[in-house]
Each structure stands twice: as structure tokens, then as C-alpha cells.
Amino acid sequence: MNILAIESSCDETSIAIMKDQKILANIISSQIDTHKKYGGVIPEIASRLHFENFGFVLEEAMTKANMKYEELDYIAYTSNPGLIGCLHIGKMIAKTMASYLNIPLIPCNHIEGHIYASAIDEEFIFPALFLVTSGGHTQLVLLKKHLSFEILGTTLDDAVGESFDKVGRMLGFAYPAGPIIDKNWAKGKDTFHLPLPKNDKTLDFSFSGLKSACANQIDKNKNNPDFNKIDFSTSFQNVAIKILMNKLELAIDKYHPNLVGIAGGVSANSLLRSETKRICQKHHLKCIIPKMAYCTDNAAMIARLAYQKIIEMKGNN
Ligand code: KG4
Ligand code: ZN
């Protein structure tokens, strides 16, 4: 079974080719250098760049996978959530290819794709609990079986990735600031007192209060030549990851999963990766930490999700 998958929900143009359960190609063309100039993603520019990039990305993916168009069995694409203009470009290309090749089209949810990135190299066991941490979402999701997604908790305002990017921007770091704060974290000292946001017994998150507390401290220090941005990065990352881990442990205690995984761009964070492993060891749970290439947006995760949908569809026929 050969699947071609397209991901274009934000600022990465990506095409993957999957043969049975094996990824043969996962080409990602990042637009970050263009959006950096504006301090964040400009939706109209992102759509135009997807349109320009798709041809090259498609050709590279097909060449790398050594696949002919007539060998493809399915076309999968990210249908939601994401920037509407960007999603439309991906959908248009997917629909055109599927109709030209006369093969089925599989629409896929981006967040579900992030979760299934973990199933590329590992098998799920159920119940499986996932902490989804991307630029737009922060959720705890429980799967009692394949493709059944129960949202246990979600952010009430900003997503954790968004808070890394916004706090980083206040510190003068380039977009996306998450990886920069993470690099600084390892070098700095935890010297700033920041509040643990929404540290209650619910499974929901809130990051806007933490962002305001950071804005106040950064503003107070604007004329202070000794203000240490590296130490501030360390303090911020410790608090942001601590609250994610507190909620993850609450969900483990309440739902008793057999597997815990992390998903989405922030799962590339070194502290989130090591803390998740530590918590899984403490609770004797199988732990899946996705490969770095599958953390941020990519089409391989969409191909893997589509593969599961096809297996399920075939099973029901
Ligand atoms: O999943 P993703 O690629 O796009 C969305 O679906 O939103 O996530 C992007 C987010 C950005 O906010 C970026 O700053 C964050 O992931 N990110 C990180 C790290 N690498 C990427 N945040 C913290 N530490 C990292 N190492
Ligand atoms: Zn994403």
C-alpha cells in the first residue's frame, strides 16, 4: 500500500511517501527564514510560498522514494486545523492528484497526525495517553483504541509553543523562539521567580498569566544592564515544562494508561523529553518520545495517520 501525504497547515511545506508502514521519503521545506523577518507567520505569505514550493517538494519526495505516480494507492492531506489559505493549497493539490490518478483521498486532522507520529516506529498499546504540545494546541488526549481521541484537558488561552514564542519575542529572540529558549535553558541558572500557571487539580492549562508575569519582569528590567536573558530562559522553561508534567501526572493517576507519549513541536524540547521519560519510569509505563524529525510539522505523521484510517476502513468492509 503506497500513500502520498501532504502537510501544509502552517509554515512547513511537506510531502511524505509511505510504503506499507515504512516512510520512504519525508521532505520538509521550511518557510521560517521568510517569516522570521516579521516575528511570526504571515498567513498570506505562507499560502503563496506553499504554492511555489509544492512542485519541488513533490518531485524530491517521489525521487527519494523511487516511486512512480501510477504506483500510488492513496493521497492523504491535512484538512484541519491550520491557516485556512495554507490548508486550501494542500487540499487543492491533493484533490487534483487523487482525481488525476483516480485514487481515494484521505483528509486528516493535524493534531491526530502529531499523535500518530509516535506510531511510525513504535506500536501503540492502550489506553494510550498523549500530551500534545504544539504552537497552536496544548491538550491531554486519551486513546482507548486506535483513532478514538478523547480530549481530557486543553488550554483555556495560549498554547505552550505560542508562549515560548511570545516570551522569546519579548526577550528579542527570533521566531520561532522555542528552540532558542531550549538552548539557553541548558546554559542558564533558574534565578527568576515565575508563577506556576493554573496549578490546580483540573486537566486544563492556561499560559496567558505566565506570559503576563514574564512581560512584567522583562519590562521592569528594560534599563537593567545586568538582566540575564539566558537565566530568564531557564526560569521560564522550568515553569512551562513543570506545569505540563504536573498535569500529565494528574492524568496518569486518574486514567491509568499503559502508554504515555508526547506530540507536537514542543516535544522537541530537551527538558520535556527527559521529564516525560522520568515520569514514565516512575509510573512503570511504556513511553514514546518521537524522533526529532517527527516532532515539528511533517507529512510523515499524516501518512501514518492515513495508514491507520485505511486499515480501519478495510476492516469495516
Ligand atoms: O507542531 P508545530 O511544528 O506547529 C504547530 O502545529 O503549531 O509546533 C511549533 C512550535 C513552535 O511554537 C516552536 O517554538 C515550538 O514548537 N518548538 C519548541 C522547540 N522546538 C519547537 N518549543 C520549545 N522547545 C523546543 N526545542
Ligand atoms: Zn503542528
Q: Which residues fall inside 5 Å of ion ligand 2, going by CB?
A: 134, 297
- Residue 2 pairs in a beta bridge with 19
Question: pLDDT tens across 14-57, in order?
Answer: 999 999 999 999 999 999 999 998 988 999 999 999 999 999 99
The pLDDT of 217-246, averaged and rounded, is 97
Q: How far lies 159's CA from each of 72, 106, 198, 234, 244, in Å?
A: 36, 27, 13, 19, 11
Enter the pTM of the model. 0.96
For the chain, the straight-line distance linking the first and the last C-alpha, in angstroms and rounded, comes to 17
**Cα 300 to ligand 2 centre (Å):** 12
**Looking at residue 117, what is its pLDDT?**
97
**Looking at residue 143, what is its pLDDT?**
98
* Mutation choice for ligand 1 from 83, 164, 184, 262, CB with most ligand atoms inside 8 A: 164
The pLDDT of 159-172, averaged and rounded, is 97
Reported as type and span, the H/E element at residue 259 is strand 259-263
234 C-beta neighbours (distance < 10 Å), count: 22
**Looking at residue 317, what is its pLDDT?**
65
Question: pLDDT tens across 98-124, in order?
Answer: 999 999 999 999 999 999 999 999 999
